[in-house]
């Protein structure tokens, strides 16, 4: 089996040993299905330590499920959801949000993955006009798909705009731990305290085997989420195996250590990359992603040895990601391989 | 943590040690996401050994996802899907099939979970009449939700009826291994060789941690399933962790050994139960489920010690299930507890 | 062009002269689109005379649209809608309710089109259980598809059951005027006063050219219906042409006169039919529908001269309908033709 | 009743006298419902005279229904539909396309309502990549929402691009007659001969009371449209009343005369407007729409006398439309009123 560390995505990594240990440990005897078990109770307790006592919490299988169902809970089909053109819900979920919520996705152009209140504001019109999808949610990705991180102030400004117009703020936090590490902030300050109403809290990309969480910061919003989760095909029967992972993830700062590690390694990779004149970073490196513009002719040969994604074909922009298990030596090995192909 | 073996459902069990070992083993290095990895390739090979070279195979997270997406692949929204009143897709998926496929679920009454060609035939009308949902799929559960097993001949008869009218035969095989064990038949003979077109092949209830498979026996039917799976929120990024489980499950007859074990233990339970005059079996015991009618007054106290589901409140019918890890001593312990509450 | 009066359906009739006159009269100058015009205002006033000041009223194009959007307004996708097996929403709308609401349609068997509280009651379970579609609406058809009429008491009993469990009562009133005529009751007494929450009020089958109304008896229920109507493709731009029809329909008792006339003619038809020994009425004749069991061999030849629908092929049961423009001579002509084919 | 001719929209006009006459004439005797009548047959014949013998034709109630169902017929839920940001399907249908098709609407920015192959081309990627909605349809509006008209060559270029990538070309022709009048081309040359696959053919805005047509230029595409129309709540029972209108519309060049008339009147209005220094045309006047930038302070007082829509609040851009029944004197009256409010 291939054991090479790649830089294609943090989801090419495996499961963190502490998480795997938790999985192995919880595999004892029987547990009532669908979440009515002690592991789930413990995981909920951990989430409350981080996000406050008032949350309502649901585990789902994957990130697309977390986003789509979280959005479904707070919309009706005649609503629109505003997000960056680059958002995962817009470009990477094969239309799952439209299909399952019926809503229109209204996009805002973005160079770096972030959207600004000044861009959103012009879309907040047509309220009460039945010909138009009614704006109901602003969805931001933290960190963005381009590896940039919203500051707390930036989130607050968007939240304020949203709430002023009766909209809700959804956050796709598939890599939120990496954002927290970058901001040196706790999870509560960059979510509920900044005005977020519903959060997709990512587990898989940060070292879990499977499982994501939908966190509601107002229980009014999730009053019927248990039905939505089941109808949305995201209710796991042997729930303990998700719960135990999250319990481990939120213990001993594992969530933060994993994120910090992958962030740090991306800095090392970036430092090596900027030494190479033929390559240019195309985004600031804030989390575990390094976006670069590289010579077109080396893309394919390099992909043969190290699979990775071309982000923008027209610009020869590629994305390299580190993960919790990347090691310094992996980076040097990769950079050496890369250099081999440079003219 | 509770380690008691319950009889509530086979999904209250944990993960079989061989499966867990496979998970641990595959957690090495990186693997390309979404199924383009060697573990998935190996799992596919195993499935082909059992089901033939011509299958098209997709892994999903759970059983509802497997059923709903398999049905979506072979229907348009104006179609109807015919199934037993008791079918999982009709009563246990919170309307997921209707929501995601748009189809009408057309039910056939059933005492024992099975449906007969003579019951289906009268529903096969209105073809070409635009006011009526057009029948397109017959979906059967093998074994049924009531623990009964279709014979190969019974399946063939339904398949023949379906195909004669241009319909397809879908099989919800969440516990298909238990049916195979009962029938002493191989997987191919009770599915594709009996006329099944699309199969939900269950993993979780037979000892896996998570993951089910959708097996298409004609590649024409799955031509766009990769989009349906993604839009259906059932594409796992770290796919190897499902694939490795299935590879283990289909190796060394683990699928059959687990199923046989749980079937056998249900026989032992049934044998004890029929000795008790106050309790009556309400269905033949063919797989790992024992349906009984028990005195109303003992239901609640017994549930306090051993959680289980009341199947039909009006009849005081309850369901007890064994699983791959049930042991004889668990049964005797349970039966003794039960007797304690009898008058 | 064919001018023969048929007995296939009341929608084979044309537009009543008074309605047509109203259409011609309103075709003067411009009117603001989508309902913000004086004709719509006048129509609303008429509806309030009949149904009370508290209603919220919306016009749509057709009967399926009225039913489906009315149901959409009061459900979420994880709900179920309970109705008779014979209900239009179950068998004649090509799955539109499932497709547009996402809900499960839960049917109750019915010999005469009516359903009873004792049949509905067993379906009112599983509340709070996320695996099951949550019951939210009971939908009855008044009069039923089989030409029978619920008494006011019968409606009240169903409404009481619905409301006791937190469900709402929806009434498909595509032919409600015929029911009112039969019951000699006003429209309010057989709807809101009997506990109905949402009503599809039929226009087309009673002499209109097109147009149906969705009447909400509690404005809380229709708070966002204007968006649902638009997203449901049922908002007419030149609304005055629906409104003027309804204004005429609800003036001078036209709605009642048309309904009474067609009911009366059905009695005359029935009286002739029962004289024929080879034919048996299969339902009581209460509105403008006559259901009969006739010799199989005369069905096809008679259809050649007079198109009509076979209701139940297995029983040779056919449906004949009168309409507002049926005349006595049409009936005698039809009966004579019919007799011609009898052995 | 208000009889003033407004300039808000061509759907504020009434029904053309020839159309109304056809409606009155067809109101004789009975006709089989749902389109199996002689009026529908005659209307189909007329459509074939204009569009060729190979078309498949379906009447629906309204323009949103025509667009959405036409698109549904040629997509699966995991597809995307590419259109101008300004397209009716994107901004004026309250998300009906997303809700009913499940597809993603992918927009292209547009100043004048048109989109160019060079803008569409970059969106035609990701084929076969399951994370992205698969591009399947390009939808253009002819004439556009901004009153501009695609040349035949422009349509052909888009069609060629579409077909080269396996996409289909949909045309929203709610006002297609106005485009044909402007281009001095016949209907066939600007649709099927230019590469259009599916057309929404508008009736209502050009003098009909209600009714639009979906025209398929390849019968393979409409093989199941009769079910889609019914499930889409767009099948009228008394179909003759739509068919007779279309038969009249396509006879004696009424479609063209109405369109030419309203186009001509818009030219007269434009000629008056450009004389006013304080007002600027913001789009070329090619059909029956005049877009202007006017002093902000006169908008509201003018709307009090003549209701019209503000197109872009930020720019004080308004839209005035003429219709088949606009007269020269209406224009002078309107312009005089307008001038009254100018400083």
What's the rounded Cα separation, in Å, for the pair B256 and B205?
Answer: 13
| E strand or H helix that includes residue C256 | helix C254-273
Strands (E), chain C: 56-60, 79-84, 104-108, 134-141, 168-173, 198-201, 212-216, 280-281, 289-293, 309-312, 317-321
Question: Which of C5, C64, C99 is nearest residue D29 as measured by Cβ atoms?
Answer: C5
Pair B291, B147: CB distance under 8 Å? yes
The confidence band for B3, taking pLDDT boundaries of 50, 70 and 90, is low
The pLDDT of residue B1 is: 39
Pair D169, D158: CB distance under 8 Å? yes
The token pair at D71 is 């698109």
What's the rounded Cα separation, in Å, for the pair A101 and B156?
Answer: 39
Q: Which residues in chain C have Cβ-Cβ distances shorter than 8 Å to A229?
A: 130
Its pTM surpasses 0.95? yes
Torsion of CA B252, B256, B259, B262, to 10 degrees: -70
Pair B233, A65: CB distance under 8 Å? yes
Q: Which residues in chain D have Cβ-Cβ distances shorter than 8 Å to C6?
A: 30, 32
What is the residue-averaged pLDDT of chain D? 96
The pLDDT of residue D2 is: 45
The pLDDT of residue C2 is: 46
The confidence band for D187, taking pLDDT boundaries of 50, 70 and 90, is very high
pLDDT tens for residues D310-324?
A: 999 889 999 999 999
pLDDT tens for residues A50-65?
A: 999 999 999 999 999 9
Whether ipTM exceeds 0.95: yes
C130 to A76: CB separation less than 8 angstroms, yes or no: no
Asked if the C-beta of D103 comes within 8 angstroms of chain A's C-beta atoms, the answer is: yes
Q: How many CA atoms lie within 13 A of C106 on its CB side?
A: 25
Q: How far apart are the first and last CA of chain C?
A: 32
Alpha-carbon distance values, D198 to D51, D167, D178, D225 (Å): 12, 12, 18, 12
What is the secondary structure of C123-146 as a DSSP string? GS--TT-TTSPEEEEEEEESS-TT
What's the rounded Cα separation, in Å, for the pair C289 and C284?
Answer: 9
Q: Which chains touch A (3 or more CB pairs under 8 A)?
A: B, C, D
The pLDDT of residue C5 is: 82
Residue located via tokens 């995962």: A88
| E strand or H helix that includes residue B318 | strand B317-321
Nearest to A126 by CA among D299, D205, C226, D103: C226
For chain C, helix, strand, coil in percent to 5 are 45, 15, 40
pLDDT tens for residues B111-145?
A: 999 999 999 999 999 999 999 999 999 999 999 99
Within 10 angstroms of residue B124's Cβ, the number of other Cβ atoms is 17
Asked if the C-beta of C305 comes within 8 angstroms of chain B's C-beta atoms, the answer is: no
The SS3 of residue A256 is helix
Strands (E), A3-103: 56-60, 79-84
Residue B227, φ and ψ in degrees, nearest 5: -75, -40
What's the rounded Cα separation, in Å, for the pair C287 and C264?
Answer: 8
Nearest to B334 by CA among B259, B266, B269: B269
What's the rounded Cα separation, in Å, for the pair C199 and C141?
Answer: 10
What is the secondary structure of B102-171 as a DSSP string? -PEEEEE--SSS---HHHHGGGS--TT-TTSPEEEEEEEESS-TTS----HHHHHHHHHHHHHTT-EEEE
Pair A175, A149: CB distance under 8 Å? no
The confidence band for C217, taking pLDDT boundaries of 50, 70 and 90, is very high
Q: Which of B233, B306, B330 to mutate to test the interface with A (most CBs of A within 10 A)?
A: B233
Torsion of CA A308, A314, A315, A317, to 10 degrees: -10
Q: Which chains touch D (3 or more CB pairs under 8 A)?
A: A, B, C
- Could you say which DSSP state residue D143 is in? S
Asked if the C-beta of C4 comes within 8 angstroms of chain D's C-beta atoms, the answer is: yes
Pair D75, D101: CB distance under 8 Å? yes
What's the rounded Cα separation, in Å, for the pair D333 and D343?
Answer: 18
The token pair at A246 is 């999250």
What's the rounded Cα separation, in Å, for the pair A328 and A269?
Answer: 9
For chain D, helix, strand, coil in percent to 5 are 45, 15, 40
User: Considering only alpha carbons, which residue of chain D is nearest residue A127?
Assistant: D94
| The pairing of beta strand A79-84 with beta strand A134-141 | parallel
What's the rounded Cα separation, in Å, for the pair B287 and C239?
Answer: 62
What is the secondary structure of C172-222 as a DSSP string? EETTHHHHHHHHT--TTTTTGGGT-SEEEE--GGGT-SS-EEEEESSGGGG
What's the rounded Cα separation, in Å, for the pair D138 and B125?
Answer: 37
What's the rounded Cα separation, in Å, for the pair A10 and A320?
Answer: 9
Share of chain D above pLDDT 70, in %: 99
C78 to A235: CB separation less than 8 angstroms, yes or no: no
Q: Which residues in chain A have Cβ-Cβ distances shorter than 8 Å to C134?
A: 227
Domains of chain D, earliest start first: 17-249 (3.40.640.10), 254-340 (3.90.1150.10)
Q: Which residues in chain C have Cβ-Cβ distances shorter than 8 Å to B77?
A: 95, 99
Please classify residue C333 by burial: count the beta carbons closer than 10 Å to its beta carbon, then call 0-12 exposed, 13-18 middle and 19+ buried. middle
The token pair at C201 is 């009020």
Distance of CA A237 to the CA centre of its chain: 24
Pair C213, C203: CB distance under 8 Å? yes
What is the layout of strands, in order, in the sheet containing C104-108?
C56-60, C212-216, C198-201, C168-173, C134-141, C79-84, C104-108
Residue D81 has pLDDT above 50, yes or no: yes
Peptide linkage before D118 cis (omega within 30 of 0) = no
The token pair at D310 is 């503000």
The pLDDT of residue A1 is: 39
The token pair at A265 is 């390694």
What's the rounded Cα separation, in Å, for the pair C210 and C200?
Answer: 14
The token pair at D14 is 């009434």
Q: Which of B30, B59, B96 to mutate to test the interface with A (most CBs of A within 10 A)?
A: B30
Nearest to D222 by CA among D185, D168, D259: D168
Residue located via tokens 């009153």: D147
- The stretches in chain A having pLDDT less than 50 are 1-2
Share of chain B above pLDDT 90, in %: 96
User: Considering only alpha carbons, which residue of chain D is nearest residue B131?
Assistant: D230
The pLDDT of residue A4 is: 73
D78 to B228: CB separation less than 8 angstroms, yes or no: yes
The pLDDT of residue D3 is: 52
Task: Note which residues in 51-80 of chain B have CB less than 8 A from chain C.
Answer: 77-80
The token pair at A17 is 């040993």
pLDDT tens for residues A163-187?
A: 999 999 999 999 999 999 999 999 9
Helix ranges (H only) for B62-112 are 63-73, 88-91, 96-101
Nearest to B9 by CA among C294, C131, C197, C96: C131
pLDDT tens for residues B138-177?
A: 999 999 999 999 999 999 999 999 999 999 999 999 999 9
Residue-level length of chain C: 343
Pair A318, A146: CB distance under 8 Å? no
pLDDT tens for residues C260-309?
A: 999 999 999 999 999 999 999 999 999 999 999 999 999 999 999 998 99
The confidence band for C1, taking pLDDT boundaries of 50, 70 and 90, is very low
Segment D187-191 long-range contacts (CB within 8 Å, at least 24 positions apart): D187/D50, D187/D51, D188/D50, D188/D51, D188/D52, D189/D152, D190/D142, D190/D152, D190/D155, D191/D51, D191/D215, D191/D217
Q: What is the mean pLDDT of residues C174-196?
A: 98
Beta bridge partners of D201: D173, D213
The pLDDT of residue C156 is: 98
The token pair at B247 is 């590879």
Higher-confidence residue: B6 or D138?
D138
What's the rounded Cα separation, in Å, for the pair A3 and A6?
Answer: 9
Q: What is the mean pLDDT of residues B21-43?
A: 96
| E strand or H helix that includes residue A199 | strand A198-201
Nearest to A233 by CA among C84, C6, B101: B101
What's the rounded Cα separation, in Å, for the pair B262 and B239?
Answer: 28
Alpha-carbon distance values, D239 to A12, C210, C240, D190, D252 (Å): 58, 9, 19, 28, 22
Q: Count interface pairs A-B at CB distance under 8 A.
A: 187
Q: What is the mean pLDDT of residues C115-130?
A: 96
What is the residue-averaged pLDDT of chain B? 96
The confidence band for D4, taking pLDDT boundaries of 50, 70 and 90, is confident
């Amino acid at each position: 089996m291939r054991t090479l560390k790649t830089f294609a995505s943090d989801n090419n990594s495996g499961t963190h040993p502490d998480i795997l240990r938790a999985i192995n440990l919880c595999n004892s005897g029987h547990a009532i299905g669908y979440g009515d078990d002690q592991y789930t109770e413990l995981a909920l307790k951990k989430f409350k330590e981080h996000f406050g006592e008032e949350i309502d919490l649901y585990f789902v299988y994957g990130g697309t499920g977390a986003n789509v169902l979280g959005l479904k809970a707070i919309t009706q089909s005649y609503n629109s959801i505003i997000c960056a053109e680059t958002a995962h819900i817009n470009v990477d979920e094969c239309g799952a949000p439209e299909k399952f919520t019926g809503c229109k996705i209204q996009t805002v152009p973005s160079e770096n993955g972030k959207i600004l209140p000044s861009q959103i504001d012009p879309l907040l019109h047509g309220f009460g006009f039945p010909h138009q999808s009614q704006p109901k949610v602003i969805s931001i990705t933290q960190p963005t798909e381009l590896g940039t991180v919203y500051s707390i102030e930036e989130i607050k400004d968007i939240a304020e705009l949203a709430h002023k117009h009766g909209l809700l703020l959804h956050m796709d936090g598939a890599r939120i731990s990496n954002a927290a590490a970058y901001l040196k902030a706790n999870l509560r300050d960059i979510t509920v305290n900044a005005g977020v109403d519903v959060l997709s809290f990512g587990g898989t990309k940060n070292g879990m085997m499977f499982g994501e969480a939908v966190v509601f910061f107002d229980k009014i919003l999730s009053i019927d989420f248990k039905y939505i989760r089941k109808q949305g095909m995201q209710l796991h029967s042997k729930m303990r195996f998700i719960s135990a992972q999250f319990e481990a993830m939120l213990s001993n700062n594992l969530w933060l250590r994993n994120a910090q590690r992958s962030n740090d390694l991306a800095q090392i990779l970036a430092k090596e990359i900027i030494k190479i004149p033929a390559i240019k970073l195309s985004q600031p490196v804030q989390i575990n992603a390094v976006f670069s513009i590289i010579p077109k002719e080396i893309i394919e040969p390099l992909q043969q040895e190290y699979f990775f994604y071309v982000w923008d074909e027209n610009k020869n922009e590629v994305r390299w990601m580190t993960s919790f298990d990347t090691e310094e030596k992996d980076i040097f090995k990769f950079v050496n391989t890369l250099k081999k192909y440079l003219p």
